[in-house]
Amino acid sequence: MRPDIQPHLQIVPRDQHNVSRRDISPNALRVLYRLREGGFHGYLVGGAVRDLLIGGHPKDFDVATNATPEEVKSLFRNCRLIGRRFRLAHVVYGREIIEVATFRASSDDGSGDRELHEGGRVLRDNVYGTIEEDAIRRDFTANALYYAIEDFSVRDYTGGYEDVRNRLMRLIGDPETRYREDPVRMLRAVRLAAKLDFEIEAATAAPIPQLAPLLRDAAPARLFEECLKMFLSGHAVKSFLGLERHGLLPALLPETAAALKSNRTGALRRMLLEGLKGTDARVANDEPVSPAFLFALLLWPAYCRALATLQAQGVHEAEAQRRAADRVTVHQLETLALPRRFSLPMQEIWLLQSRFSQRQRKRVFRLLSHPRFRAAFDFLTLRMAASEEHADDVAFWREAQTASGDALSAQLDAQREALGTEEGDGPRKRRRRRRKTANGGE
């Protein structure tokens, strides 16, 4: 047992809380009852209990038990064991999986499968424990509540019930120690506070700015996952403001943080927030959101800055764009494991931005049929939110998407004549192809 944390059981009886079986997944209830029939203790735990207490709708239901994974497996036909170091049981009902974890003794990152690591961080654990130990190895008090199927009470070992009522994210134990064990908890504090509309309790918030750099040593794959949860679950704006407020942005998105700082007009930050607002609206409407677009947005300030630097060095436009895109991606990969299937379309969205100012017929049609056109156009629209400069382009391309091919051709011809330009699509004009174009830098 951790010497620094003393669990103290408080039982909140059924008539004093609002967790109702009606709101619990029938499959999770099945698991709880079956464990009980098997002679074990089973509890609903973690995010689900917390969310139910504040009237939310949990997306998944986790169960904690004193049965070992093998014992769990013997109770359910539809059960498979996963995880190498710490084994977990998954009870599978069609598309719903109820995760059943045996109480465990020491702290970890909740992933159930962890590598050894130096420097005071939590190492691995494969030691089963008591419910008290299981409670105090969790991160926040609000996440350490247990709903018992035998009497429908909520078991609270860390003061979480009170904290949920006061809408507070409070780390269990000494905050600095807990962040050093697992720096990702800093992001979880911000993310969960944003999602639940909680405050981060003062002592829990205090060490964050100073410890933020520890995030650089966190596993890049985990940080990427955490980012997706933070920005693609409908609370992106609040999460971003939380990251800023608690000094986490430079650790998570270093180049974007630097670019925002040096952008005096604030246009880049405005655009970023506008984009995140759009993302939240899409999630609220059940529309799809893509990691590629999200990262195009999050790293756009960094891209613009890198591009400006290269331009100042006299690098040719198209080359500068390509190099800026690569540079930003490579640097960001040091902290975040952004898979190529997202980073490639992200770069395409950036590189397409410079093509919206081109109006030659062939280029217009080529861009319209580009697989990334829609995303790039949506991105252009966002840039207009930050600077009116793009209004003409947005208007043109909005029309172009709906116009028939003939109408668009006629319009482009008319425009060309009005401008008296020679440039057309005729074979003789090819030498003008590589002309300089306006760039995407803001």
Binding site for Mg ion (CB under 5 A): 47
Amino acid at 65: T
Which C-beta is closer to ligand ATP: that of 229 or that of 270? 229
- Shortest CB 330 distance to Mg ion, Å: 33
Contact residues for ligand ATP (CB under 6 A)?
A: 46-47, 62, 109-110, 138-139, 143-144, 182, 184-185, 229
198, HSE (Cβ side, Cα atoms, 13 Å):
30
- The residue annotated as part of the active site, out of 60, 113, 125, 174, is 60
Q: How far, in Å, CA of 338 to CA of 354, rounded?
A: 24
Which C-beta is closer to Mg ion: that of 47 or that of 183? 47
- Shortest CB 33 distance to ligand ATP, Å: 22
* Vertex 197: Cα angle to 171 and 213 (nearest 5): 50
Q: Which of 354, 359, 327 is nearest to 423 (CA)?
A: 359
Which C-beta is closer to Mg ion: that of 47 or that of 291? 47
Which C-beta is closer to ligand ATP: that of 46 or that of 301? 46
- Shortest CB 59 distance to Mg ion, Å: 7
- Shortest CB 144 distance to ligand ATP, Å: 6
Binding partner of residue 129 among ligand ATP, Mg ion, none, CB cut-off 5 to 8 Å per kind: none
The structure tokens listed for 374 are 């829609």
Check: CB of residue 245 under 8 Å from CB of residue 205. no
Q: How far, in Å, CA of 150 to CA of 11, rounded?
A: 13
Check: CB of residue 63 under 8 Å from CB of residue 43. yes
Which C-beta is closer to Mg ion: that of 47 or that of 69? 47
- Shortest CB 423 distance to ligand ATP, Å: 54
Torsion over CA of 184, 188, 190 and 194, rounded to 10 degrees? 160
- Shortest CB 358 distance to Mg ion, Å: 47
- Shortest CB 142 distance to ligand ATP, Å: 8
- The residue annotated as part of the active site, out of 51, 62, 156, 163, is 62
Catalytic residue at 286?
no
Binding partner of residue 280 among Mg ion, ligand ATP, none, CB cut-off 5 to 8 Å per kind: none
Q: How far, in Å, CA of 103 to CA of 42, rounded?
A: 10
Binding partner of residue 138 among ligand ATP, Mg ion, none, CB cut-off 5 to 8 Å per kind: ligand ATP
**Exposed, middle or buried, 227 (CB in 10 Å: 0-12/13-18/19+)?**
buried
Catalytic residue at 425?
no
Which C-beta is closer to ligand ATP: that of 48 or that of 306? 48
Residue 64, number of CB atoms within 10 A of its CB: 22
Which C-beta is closer to Mg ion: that of 47 or that of 275? 47
Q: How far, in Å, CA of 303 to CA of 350, rounded?
A: 8
Strand 145-148 relative to strand 154-156: parallel, antiparallel, unpaired? antiparallel
Catalytic residue at 139?
yes
- Shortest CB 60 distance to Mg ion, Å: 5
- The residue annotated as part of the active site, out of 109, 134, 139, 163, is 139
Which C-beta is closer to ligand ATP: that of 90 or that of 383? 90
Binding partner of residue 139 among Mg ion, ligand ATP, none, CB cut-off 5 to 8 Å per kind: ligand ATP
Question: Which residues are catalytically annotated?
Answer: 60, 62, 139
